[in-house]
């Protein structure tokens, strides 16, 4: 079980999160700055948790994060309860490790950008014309021309987000798989996507890039007019989330498949 003596508190700007912090959470512990903490408590929703995790990836100082849902869905968060029980709950929490995707994107003007994505990386058409993409997996061209609104590659942690909305599969957290899912595919008409080992390297090249411009979004970061996107798991940037027993992310992923 985790035993953290130095905890930081991060609170979303959302009124609900600020109100909860003022009504008990700020007073229950001797919080330390994030730079000195062994773990961080995150008050807010999934978006704020993703923002926090990305900030840690950018700073290259990664510590476990325990989220309390004061947002809408709260898939990455624990249920908000009495502030007085928080420290005890953290002591009983289960650790779940997730590895993000690393995206290297080259734009039409030749610039290269590198971002990480915890949920998914999605390519989307920028205009009314469909996108045309070449899909390569492990240096082998699998689809010479995918005509679509876009395509995404999702991690297990992100498989219940945009990927599920695009009719992609839900992946168990410990499956070591990735979901490659088309968005409104036109041709090949019968291609519904692929489930890949997470050791796979995926490259998506934009065909007719000037006529049919495409943007790429890595979680909350967007880059426009891309020419090629290369994706693989960033095993050197593993993240750790803390969940209450019975509310772990792998259980929530299983439960999501029985929602009717």
Binding-site residues for NAD(+) sit at 46-47, 119-120, 149, 157, 160-165
3-state secondary structure of 81: coil
Helix (H) or strand (E) holding 57: helix 46-59
Residue with tokens 């590198």: 114
Q: What is the Cα–Cα distance from 214 to 101, expressed in whole angstroms?
A: 19
3-state secondary structure of 132: strand
Q: Which two tokens stand for residue 6?
A: 């130095």
Query: Which residues sit in the known binding site?
Result: 46-47, 119-120, 149, 157, 160-165
Runs of H (alpha helix) within 106-214: 162-165
Strand blocks (E) in 45-130: 65-69, 94-98, 101-107, 112-117, 120-125
Burial class, 242, CB count within 10 angstroms (exposed 0-12 / middle 13-18 / buried 19+): buried
Task: Indicate which residue of 22, 30, 46, 230 is catalytic.
Answer: 46
Q: Which two tokens stand for residue 157?
A: 């942690």
236 annotated active-site: no
Phi, psi for 181 (deg, rounded to 5): -125, 125
Please give the positions annotated as active site: 46
């Amino acid at each position: 079980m985790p035993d953290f003596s130095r905890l930081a508190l991060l609170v979303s700007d959302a009124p609900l999160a600020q109100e909860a912090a003022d009504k008990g959470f700020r007073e229950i512990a001797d919080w330390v700055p994030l730079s000195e903490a062994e773990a961080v408590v995150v008050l807010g929703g999934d978006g704020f948790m993703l923002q926090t995790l990305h900030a840690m990836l950018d700073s290259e100082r990664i510590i476990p994060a325990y989220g309390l849902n004061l947002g809408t869905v709260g898939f990455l968060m624990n249920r908000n309860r009495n502030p007085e029980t928080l420290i005890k709950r953290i002591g009983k929490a289960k650790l779940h490790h997730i590895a993000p995707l690393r995206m290297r994107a080259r734009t039409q003007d030749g610039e290269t950008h590198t971002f990480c994505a915890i949920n998914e990386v999605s390519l989307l058409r920028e205009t009314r014309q469909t996108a045309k993409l070449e899909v390569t997996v492990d240096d082998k061209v699998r689809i010479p021309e995918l005509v679509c609104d876009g395509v995404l590659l999702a991690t297990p942690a992100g498989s219940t987000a945009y990927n599920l909305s695009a009719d992609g599969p839900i992946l168990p957290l410990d499956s070591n798989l990735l979901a490659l899912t088309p968005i409104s595919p036109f041709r090949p008409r019968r291609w519904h996507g692929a489930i890949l080992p997470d050791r796979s390297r995926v490259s998506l090249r934009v065909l007719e890039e000037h006529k049919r411009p495409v943007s790429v979004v890595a979680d909350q970061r967007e880059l426009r007019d891309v020419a090629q996107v290369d994706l693989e798991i960033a095993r050197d940037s593993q993240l750790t989330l803390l969940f209450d027993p019975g509310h772990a992310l792998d259980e929530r992923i299983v439960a999501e498949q029985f929602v009717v």
